[in-house]
Amino acid sequence: MTTADALSGLRLPLLVDASSQVQVGIPDSKDWLSLVREEKPALESLFVAIPKSLEEIDASISAIDAILFCEGPGSTLGLRVAATAVKTILRENEPSPTLFTYNALDLAAIMSNDLSRPILAPFRKGKRLLRSPISNSAIGSIEVLEEPISESLSKEALHLPSLRSWETLPEGLDVLDYDISHIAGLAGIAPILRPAEIPEVFTPLPAEFRKWKPTRDLSPN
């Protein structure tokens, strides 16, 4: 069964995206039956946003038959909170909803209406993510770049804003407002959806851990 076939028979799909701000919605074929966007961190707002989106259309969480989960990149904590929420729904609902996953950079490309344009997004300190287009595909290739980024690429690319309050992008760059309402429901997001068994957070590189160093000498006298 193709992704398009699987989507065509859905009654109540739930989108969960915590890559930046929390965004939760119920799409229909070409629009949104409900869409909730929260400013607070996912740990505070996600478990409010999900029932709120369902209440707007007088539906219950047990009626969800599919979940569209954003794997990231973005806020690591937010994405993990979202993955936990999705796992709970998959476990508690009977039958278990069908799970689809997508990458936030691919959705950003659809929002921009220009799949051929490179997209740069914040990653770890000193690094950025680059999404490059793949011919005849809405799903691009993603690689990690070391900073500084070349001026030509920075000017050509579309940028996702930093999630760190202390980090700002230089003026003059084209920054995308990552807003799910710009997507035309299931029809808009379908080209980048991938079937999945479990919700997993996007990790292009292994986690980095710094060895703790004491600030004073702890050796015995």
How confident is the model over 131-181, as pLDDT tens digits?
999 999 999 999 999 999 999 999 999 999 887 766 777 888 999 999 999
Residue 43 placed within a domain:
yes
Element holding 110 (H helix, E strand): helix 104-112
Residue with tokens 């051929």: 116
* Between 210 and 35, the higher pLDDT residue: 35
Q: What is the CATH number of the domain that holds 127?
A: 3.30.420.40
**Mean pLDDT of the region 194-216:** 77
Residue 201 placed within a domain:
no
Name the 3-class secondary structure at 98: strand
Residue 206 placed within a domain:
no
- Helix ranges (DSSP H) in 9-57: 42-55
pLDDT at 220 over 70: no
Residue 207 placed within a domain:
no
Determine the pLDDT at residue 166. 65
Residue 220 placed within a domain:
no
Name the nearest CA neighbour of 45 among 71, 9, 82, 94: 82
Contacts of 64 by beta carbon, 8 Å cutoff, 6+ apart: 12, 13, 14, 54, 89, 93, 97
**Domain range for 129:** 3-196
Determine the pLDDT at residue 161. 87
Residue 205 placed within a domain:
no
Rg (CA), the chain: 19
Reading the block at residue 83, the tokens are 């993955």
Give the tens place of pLDDT for each residue, 19-41.
999 999 999 999 999 999 999 99
The beta-carbon contacts of 77-81 under 8 Å, at least 24 apart in sequence, are 77/41, 77/42, 77/43, 78/18, 78/19, 78/20, 78/22, 78/41, 78/42, 78/43, 78/46, 79/18, 79/19, 79/42, 79/201, 79/202, 80/201, 81/18, 81/42, 81/43, 81/46
Residue 218 placed within a domain:
no
pTM for the predicted model, two decimal places: 0.90
Residue 221 placed within a domain:
no
Give the tens place of pLDDT for each residue, 92-137.
999 999 999 999 999 999 999 999 999 999 998 889 999 999 999 9
Domain count, the chain: 1
